[in-house]
Structure 1
Amino acid sequence: MSKGTILAVDDEPDILIALEDLFEDEYRVLTTSKPAEALDILAAEPDIAVIVSDQRMPGMTGDAMLAQARGLHDAQAILLTGYADMSAVIAALNRGGITGYATKPWDADLLRGAVRQAYERHRLGRELATERALLMGLLDHSADAIAFKDADGRFVRLNARKAEALGRNVAECLGRTEDALRAEAGSDPGTESAAADMAAIDSAQPTDTLVATGEPGLERWSQVVRVPIRAASGAVAHLATIERDVTEQKSLEARLRQSDKMQALGTLAGGIAHDFNNLLTAILGSLELATPKIADQPRVLRLVTNATQAAQRGATLTKRLLGFSRSRDLRPRAVDLNGLIAGMGELLSGSLGGLVSLTTLLDPSEPAACVDPDQLELAILNLCINSRDAMPEGGGIVISTRIAALVDDPDLPDGDYVAIAVADTGTGIPPAILQRVCEPFFTTKALGQGTGLGLAMVFGLAQQSSGRLRITSEVGGGTQVELLLPRAEAAVADEIADEATIPVATQAARILVVDDDAEVRHVTASFLNTFGYAESEAADGASAVILMEQSRFDLVVADLAMPGMTGVELAEIVRARWADVPVLILTGHAEAIPIPADLPVLRKPFESGDLAAEVSRLLRPAA
């Protein structure tokens, strides 16, 4: 380490030489014979630790010079004097201008000891000042709320951020407990915080806890670190607390967890939809094949018709489930809103339960809107479920449609729009929460009862459809969510197959049906046989290849998801070895495996007419 620096001041050169000779082994020694020059040296040398000065000097006495030095430097001062100047020494000691003195002629060991002690005091003072500056800098500029308490919980140090959290300034908090300050402010006395403080002191171990404050849905999360500080005796004398706002971090963690959950839920929904589509294909196909055989039995035919309608409703629900699991761009088209809402009647009734009544007030002009119908159905379902959850004791939901003509609207261009509103008689939404309800993953529902994505999804649909979402609510007076969408000229009617027409083969052909599900394979093959085609069956891709090596086929109808070899992989083999044989892929979940764009696909469950049309189209080039 470098030597400490001392300054020797005396008007006699011999004294200065003696002082330099006495201290040069331990210190860097600066000397001057002029008190005024000594002050200049002090101003230029901030590292001087000790000043050793004579008392009697021309122009300025030593005590007067040291008094001025005290105003511009923190060096320790030792006065050299004779016995005749003892009154000046006493006065300098009383004013704090010097920390020690030595009489002339001095005792070398005593003077060395006095300088050494003065140097140590200066060093410790500097270290203490540095630590104090670091602590105050940390307290004043930290974004965290930091405090130091004694063993009884009284504040001994704290920063402005902590004081502001208590509604006070720093001076008003010192010497008082947090409980007392909170009680005076009329807020929660924070008994849990006091208990955590005492637990940390008793255990003498650092602790780390998370604390939530505020109303449900608007909580502020704080991470509180408590560090016990031991005294020289070893007992815990103080406790440091550091409170950090981690609300944003908690929100990001929740979003990540919810995103993973939604991804897993989407995958699960897709898998369930695939299995259900296979079941529905077998059920609907079997019922369709059985219907002509009981045409002369009205009672049995009615039962089969009821079963068919129930299975078709199941197919619609599965379609909605797949729409939930898919991640795709919107496909807007003209949609009859009244018809869409009417078609959701059974779905909504089953979702809302018996305590909630559902009423529709639909515009008689049957307005059409330009929107993705699948996403709109999901949006209406989400809004109705939110309304149901806001009425735990029961209530009413009203779904209405109307035409709105906008002029000079701040958010949307002038023109005609269609409004869909979902209103409830629930608890309403407080203004503070109303500002955040459309944020992704924001929810006030209990853990496991909400994803925080419902209103965010509806808001996104409105934005992407060039519309607007508006929410009005009154605490205790219910909530209305209105979705405004661009009006379309007319809804596009879905094509309905002519049930009276029985599909027939347009030409003779041999068709190979490949599916690992025996029931679906049998229904598909039976359809083809009914049409008039010659059909063969294979349970997997490998068996299909063997059959094609043994016989000639005009078309392959293959399931997409099969163990061992997928339908796409089978299609690649067929195209490579039998290039003139087309392949039709059947799938209950097209997103499960990527399908080349040039490979024809028919989604399950399908009707016989859909299968006949696709088979006929694929066989036509060969003819």
Structure 2
Amino acid sequence: MSQGTILAVDDEPDILIALEDLFEDEYRVLTTTKPAEALAILAATPEIAVILSDQRMPGMTGDAMLAEARKIHDAQAILLTGYADMSAVVAALNQGGITGYATKPWDAALLRNTVRQAYERHALGRELATERALLRGLLDNAEDAISFKDAEGRFVRLNARKAAGLGQSVAACLGRTEDFLTGDGAVLAADAAAVARGEPADTLVAQGAIGAERWRHVTRVPIRDGAGAITHLATIERDVTEQKSLEARLRQSDKMQALGTLAGGIAHDFNNLLTAILGSLELVGPKIADQPRVQRLVTNATQAAQRGATLTRRLLSFSRSRDLRPRAVDVNGLIEGMHDLLGGSLGGLVSVETRLAPEAPAACVDPDQLELAILNLCINARDAMPEGGTIRVATHVLRIDDDPDLVPGDYMSVEIADSGTGIAPEILARVCEPFFTTKSVGQGTGLGLAMVFGLAQQSAGRLRIASAPGTGTRVEIVLPRADAASPAEAARAPAARPAARSARILVVDDDAEVRHVTASFLSSFGYTESEAADGASALSLLEREGFDLVVADLAMPGMTGVELAEIVRARWATMPVLIVTGHAEAIPIPADLPVLRKPFESVDLAAEVSRLLDRAA
């Protein structure tokens, strides 16, 4: 036995000496002849495990002293007394003031055994108190909801977090089952299954409206008694909503990255096709000047191909991450130009009604991103009206002076409203979170409203959403006013082709149709052109013949256009290189390398070639 501490109290010093001789081999023995001094020793010595006290002492009897000691100390108390004091012993036992007694003269072996049992009870009591304190500290301070249930599922212990989750106090939960408090029989079934298996079990539980669920990870641990029988069940519940949200965001981010890669590949190939189609249609135009019916067919094909180019640009705009490029935009004109896009995207159950402010000023915004934002909002409105309805798209001119988030001044607003199902308040508070969606798997990315919110913020504007269940939804994008639409947004009249000048141009492209169209354009301008299918062939021609300019595709097998440009600049320093590409984000392009994006019109190619030749000259 490890050495413990006992306190002996007796008004006769000889008795104390005898007690010290009896116990000093097993315990550290403290002694005093005065009851008041004994209480002071107890207050200063928390490690005392057992008190041995005489009953008859001057000033204070033993049972009275031990009753006072009980108030300040947890030591076990043993009363030493004669037979004449048995009534005091009985009273002290009944009142819980002592845990045992011994008569004088004592039997040494019996007294040693009594003290040893008292010491062991004290040690066990302190261990239990420590366990209780640890458990109480765990229950009171854990961020998890923790409970202990008996074999019938009734709460025997739980923390305040668990009780709060049930909408009750801790006291109201004790002795009751969880299904009684919540009406959810699934909990009792899950508890019973864990007890039946006899092993810890983990489950994931979702509560709340779809799209605004709170996720809990529940661990159930069966607890066995000394005989191995399961008598209790511990449950530990952790809120993993944020973790689930992060996992969903990561999955969506991976999907978006894959979509961006796919979109880039599609855009490259599709833009090559469109370049060949549009270029061929433009080249054939002068040859059918006297055939109006054929001209009409060519015009229809050209317009269809141009719409394809617009769709490809929108696909890239959606899938890639880039900085906004705000400029003055005719918002009314942009919305009117989306008529075909909205009609093809929304289906036949809904119609779009526009109410555009007359003589509305331009707004300062990235036009591609604004177009995408309006499309996303209209798709959301359509999804909110499964039985069909009308989507209202309106513009307004505003003067804002009292908004703390906006600089006082003139603004343009774009408003998209529907009469659909509306949005519950708990979901409305989260709709602008990235990757948050209430749509089924595969039907939404959770990025639409987040993108619209980001567009409004980065454009020095604001986004407001008003909705309630059953009343529809109204979304307002407020954008700062600009003075006038930029020339890029105005309808561009065909520019006159530059006069032919003497120049030899090498066209490098692995797509034969695109290469032929580009070369045909250059030939029609009066330039002398040659063709190469790849970078190696181009270098071979450059070494044998003299050229004034190289027009090279960006993405080619074996050698990219950028790599070819680096070699050309190193070996023929004065020769300019023009990169043409259907997906500029596929390969990093140096800032000082001129780029022409596919599909391009002949006027675009002519202007860029003329500019580069002039600069080289």
Normalising TM by the smaller chain, what interval? over 0.9
- Residue from 392, 398, 403 that aligns with 2:386: 392
Contact 1:497 1:609 in 2 (8 A): no
Whole-Å Cα distance in 2 between the matches of residues 573 and 497 of structure 1? 37
Residue 577 of structure 1 aligns with an amino acid whose one-letter code is R
What per-residue deviation string (whole Å, max 9, x for no partner) do you get for residues 391-416 of structure 1? 11111111112222334445434433
Q: 2:233 aligns with which of 227, 239, 245?
A: 239
Displacement of 1:438: 2.3
* Distance in 2, Cα, partners of 1:496 & 1:49: 97
Match of residue 223 from structure 1: 217
CA contact (8 A) 1:504 1:612 kept: no
1:56 match: 56
SS at match of 2:386: coil
Per-residue Cα deviation, 1:3-40 (whole angstroms, up to 9, x for no partner) = 21111122222222222222112111111122221111
TM-score under structure 1 normalisation? 0.94
Per the alignment, residue 32 of structure 1 pairs with 32
- Counting only pairs closer than 5 Å after superposition, residues 521-560 of structure 1 correspond to structure 2 as 521-560=515-554
Contact 2:463 2:478 in 1 (8 A): yes
The whole-number CA distance in structure 2 between the counterparts of 1:231 and 1:449 is: 51
Range 121-130 or range 302-311, more displaced: 302-311
CA distance in 2, matches of 1:407, 1:40: 76
1:502 positional shift: 5.1
Residue 8 of structure 2 corresponds to 8
Once the 2 structures are TM-superposed, how far is the Cα of residue 478 of structure 1 from its aligned partner?
1.8
Mean Cα displacement is larger for which, 588-597 or 264-273? Answer: 264-273
What does residue 195 of structure 2 align with? 201
Match of 2:363 in 1: 369
- Tell me how far apart the structure 2 counterparts of residues 8 and 324 of structure 1 sit (CA, whole Å): 86
Kept in 1: contact 2:508–2:551 (CA 8 A): yes
Root-mean-square deviation (CA), in Å?
A: 2.0
Confirm or deny that 1:565 pairs with 2:562.
no
2:457 maps to 1:463: yes
How far is 1:349 from its partner?
0.6
**Correspondent of 2:346 among 352, 374, 394:** 352
Once the two structures are superposed, the pairs formed by residues 127-276 of structure 1 within 5 Å of their partners are: 127-182=127-182, 189-276=183-270
Q: CA separation in 2, counterparts of 1:447 and 1:70?
A: 66
Q: Deviations over 1:403-453 (max 9, x none)?
A: 223344454344332221111121122233323322322222222222222
* Alpha-carbon distance change, 291 to 424 in structure 1, aligned in 2, over 3 angstroms: same
C-alpha distance in structure 2 between counterparts of 1:500 and 1:92, whole Å: 114
Question: Does structure 2 conserve the Cα–Cα contact (< 8 Å) formed by 1:367 and 1:402?
Answer: no
5 Å matches for 1:274-423? 274-423=268-417
Aligned counterparts of 1:178 and 1:622: Cα–Cα separation in 2? 83
* Alpha-carbon distance in 2 for matches of 1:254, 1:309: 41
Asked whether the equivalents of residues 504 and 530 of structure 1 are also in contact (C-alpha less than 8 Å), the reply is: no
The equivalent of 1:475 in structure 2 is 469
CA displacement at 1:487 relative to structure 2: 2.2
Greater alpha carbon shift after TM alignment, 428-437 vs 122-131: 428-437
Counterpart position of 2:70: 70
1:446-477 CA deviation, whole Å, 9 max, x = no partner?
22222222122212222222222222224223
Match of 2:514 among 520, 537, 562: 520
8 Å Cα contact 2:148-2:232 kept in structure 1: yes
- 4+ runs of 1 displaced by more than 4 Å? 495-504
Deviation (angstroms), 1:385 = 0.6
CA shift digits 1:368-387 (9 cap, x unpaired): 21211111101111110110
Task: Supply the distance in 2 between the matched residues of 1:581 and 1:504 (Cα, whole angstroms).
Answer: 21
Name the CA distance, whole Å, in 1 between partners of 2:43 and 2:495: 110
> Structure 1: how far apart are the matches of 2:302 and 2:587?
29
Write the distance in 2 (CA, Å) between the matches of 1:466 and 1:89: 87
CA deviation after TM superposition for structure 1 residue 229, in Å: 0.5
In terms of mean alpha carbon deviation, does 26-35 or 52-61 score higher? 52-61
Measured after TM superposition, the shift of residue 83 of structure 1 is: 2.8
Distance, in Å, in 2 between the alignment partners of 1:4 and 1:37 is 20
User: Residues 305 and 503 of structure 1: is their aligned pair in 2 closer, same or farther, counting only changes over 3 Å?
Assistant: farther
* Structure 2, unaligned runs of 5 or more: none
Which amino acid in the other structure matches residue 512 of structure 1? L
Q: Match for 1:430 among 424, 427, 442?
A: 424
Equivalent residue, structure 2, for 1:101? 101
8 A Cα contact 1:367 1:418, kept in partner: yes
Paired residue type of 2:12: E
Q: Deviations over 1:99-149 (max 9, x none)?
A: 222222322222111111111000000111111111122222323222111
Partner of 1:90: 90
Whole-angstrom distance in 2 between the partners of 1:413 and 1:532: 54
Give the conservation status (yes or no) of the 8 Å contact 2:360–2:397: no
TM-score by length of 2: 0.95
Instruction: Name the aligned partner's letter for residue 161 of structure 1.
Output: R
1:563 to partner: Cα distance: 1.8
Give the whole-Å Cα distance in 1 for the aligned partners of 2:574 and 2:17: 114
1:173, 1:311 → 2: CA distance? 70
Name the CA shift for 1:500/1:181 in 2 (closer, same or farther; >3 Å).
closer
Is 1:80 aligned to 2:80, yes or no?
Answer: yes
Shift of the 89–502 alpha-carbon distance from structure 1 to 2, 3 Å rule, reads closer
- 2:113 maps to amino acid: G
Q: For each residue in 1:483-509, what CA deviation from the matched residue of structure 2 results, as whole angstroms up to 9, or x when unmatched?
A: 22222232223376654845553x222
Aligned amino acid, residue 595 of structure 1: I
For 2:545 and 2:140, how far apart are their aligned partners in 1?
A: 87
| Distance across 2 between alignment mates of 1:88 and 1:477 | 82
Alpha-carbon spacing, 1:346–1:545, altered in 2? closer, same or farther (3 Å): same
The change in CA–CA distance for 1:496 and 1:435 in structure 2 (over 3 A counts) is: closer
Same amino acid, percent of matched pairs: 79
Deviations along 1:509-568, one digit per CA (max 9) or x if unpaired, are 221111122221121122222222222222211221122122222111111111221111
Structure 2 equivalent of residue 125 of structure 1: 125
* CA–CA separation in structure 1 for the residues paired with 2:68 and 2:91: 15
* Distance in 1, Cα, partners of 2:560 & 2:131: 71
- Contact persistence 1:387–1:426 (CA under 8 A): yes
The more displaced of 76-85 and 229-238 is: 76-85
Separation in structure 2 between the aligned mates of residue 554 and residue 497 of structure 1, nearest angstrom: 30
CA deviations on 1:573-616 (whole Å, 9 max, x unpaired) are: 11111112111111111122111111111111111111122112
User: Match of 1:381, SS?
Assistant: helix
Judged with a 3 Å threshold, the aligned counterparts in structure 2 of structure 1 residues 406 and 105 are, in CA distance, closer, same or farther, namely closer
Distance in 2, matches of 1:105 and 1:354, equals 107
* CA–CA distance in structure 2, aligned partners of residues 355 and 288 of structure 1: 38
Alignment CA distance shift 1:174-1:560 (3 Å): same
In structure 2, the residue matched to 1:185 is none
Q: Residues 3 and 28 of structure 2 are in contact (CA less than 8 Å); yes or no, is this contact kept in structure 1?
A: yes
Is the 8 Å Cα contact of residues 384 and 422 (structure 1) preserved in structure 2? yes
- Secondary structure at the counterpart of residue 521 of structure 2: helix
> Which stretches in structure 1 are left out of the alignment for 5+ residues?
183-188
* Matches of 1:496 and 1:612, distance apart in 2: 19
Match of 1:620, SS state, is helix
Tell me which residue corresponds to 1:583.
Answer: 577
> How many correspondences in the alignment?
616
In 2, Cα distance between equivalents of 1:515 and 1:16: 110
Aligned to 2:110: 110
